[in-house]
């Protein structure tokens, strides 16, 4: 029994360490390497390889993996957004998804928008491989989806051109100075009365969970901790003229969905 237990513990440790090394290499490790090589100047330099390499996208975008990363709160977070979209008046309107996301959030959001009467769902991402991957998920709605390679901090969409905008776990990956620009753009493209649905990490209440989250960000997501204080999306959004916010938190405040409404004309 003792030998079996030791072998089991050793195997678990090796698997966890290998998984951590794998994700570190493809997240913060990649940023460190690009910085050392002087390759952080182009628009997509902050994008991790797991979001740009098609083989890695297909390998990692598996619902159980994505749900586990978000501590199995993924479905709850998406449901908050979906329920909001279903209550919105979207007849004949356009809905924007700013940046593709792993898991089933895009099919669920697209279905909810169409059920609410949206005439078109625009999918925008800076990485073409992400758009190609997303298109495979949304084949059932091919007649109502449009894909455009676009930068969240400088969108091609016209002012006041969409009624709803969904941004799911993008901000924590952006360098701090780009977070504000992305939020400004997200609100710019909204028509008066339109809503931004923003899913993100949040500062947990329990100290144990807070310590674990802090460690996770320090190791894997160097731009995420600012969401707890200096770059709290609610504070940034409410500083914009005519924007009001609702914050919904789940799992001891570890995650949040912010609904920001642009004042009606």
Report in angstroms the alpha-carbon separations of 16 from 13, 58, 90, 223: 5, 21, 45, 23
Query: 187 falls in which pLDDT band (50, 70, 90)?
Result: very high
Overall average pLDDT of the 129-154 stretch: 97
pLDDT in tens, 224-257: 999 999 999 999 999 999 999 999 999 999 999 9
Overall average pLDDT of the 186-192 stretch: 98
Give, to the nearest 10 degrees, the angle between helix 28-36 and helix 2-26: 50
Residue 8 confidence (pLDDT): 74
Residue 238 confidence (pLDDT): 96
Overall average pLDDT of the 179-200 stretch: 97
Task: Using a pLDDT cut of 70, give the percent of the chain over it.
Answer: 95
Global pTM reads 0.93
pLDDT in tens, 132-142: 999 999 999 99
Residue 46 confidence (pLDDT): 80
Q: Is the pLDDT of residue 3 over 80?
A: no
Q: Is the pLDDT of residue 55 over 80?
A: yes
Overall average pLDDT of the 174-193 stretch: 96
CATH class as words, domain 42-262: alpha beta
Contacts of 230 (CB under 8 A, 6+ apart): 176
Residue 7 confidence (pLDDT): 73
Mean pLDDT of the chain: 92
Residue 5 confidence (pLDDT): 66
d(CA 102, CA 72): 14
Which of 3-7, 82-86, 239-243 is predicted least confidently?
A: 3-7
**Which residue shows structure tokens 């159980």?**
64
Overall average pLDDT of the 45-62 stretch: 90
**What string of H, E and C letters represents the secondary structure of 220-252?**
CCCCCHHHHCCCCHHHHHHCCCCEEEEEEEECC
Name which of 197, 127, 124 is nearest 164 in CA terms: 197
Which of 24-38, 91-105, 177-191, 232-246 is predicted least confidently?
A: 24-38
| Domain residue ranges of the chain, discontinuous segments joined by + | 1-41, 42-262
């Amino acid at each position: 029994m003792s030998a079996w237990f030791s072998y089991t513990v050793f195997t678990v440790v090796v698997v966890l360490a290998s998984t951590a090394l794998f994700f570190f290499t493809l997240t913060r490790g990649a940023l460190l390497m690009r910085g050392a090589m002087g390759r952080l100047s182009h628009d997509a330099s902050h994008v991790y390889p797991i979001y740009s390499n098609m083989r890695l996208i297909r390998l990692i975008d598996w619902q159980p993996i994505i749900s586990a990363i978000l501590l199995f709160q993924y479905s709850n977070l998406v449901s908050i957004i979906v329920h909001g979209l279903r209550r919105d008046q979207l007849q004949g309107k356009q809905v924007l998804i700013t940046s593709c996301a792993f898991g089933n959030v895009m099919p669920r959001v697209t279905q909810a928008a169409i059920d609410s009467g949206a005439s078109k769902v625009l999918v925008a991402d800076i990485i073409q491989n992400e758009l190609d991957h997303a298109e495979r998920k949304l084949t059932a709605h091919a007649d109502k989806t449009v894909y455009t390679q676009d930068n969240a901090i400088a969108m091609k969409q016209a002012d006041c051109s969409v009624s709803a905008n969904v941004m799911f776990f993008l901000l924590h990956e952006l360098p701090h100075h780009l977070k504000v620009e992305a939020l400004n753009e997200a609100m710019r493209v909204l028509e008066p009365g339109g809503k931004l649905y923003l899913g993100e990490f949040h500062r947990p209440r329990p100290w144990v969970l807070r310590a674990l989250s802090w460690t996770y960000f320090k190791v894997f997501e160097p731009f995420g901790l600012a969401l707890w204080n200096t770059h709290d999306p609610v504070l940034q959004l409410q500083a914009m003229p005519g924007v009001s916010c609702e914050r919904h938190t789940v799992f001891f405040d570890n995650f949040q969905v912010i609904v920001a409404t642009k004042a009606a004309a």
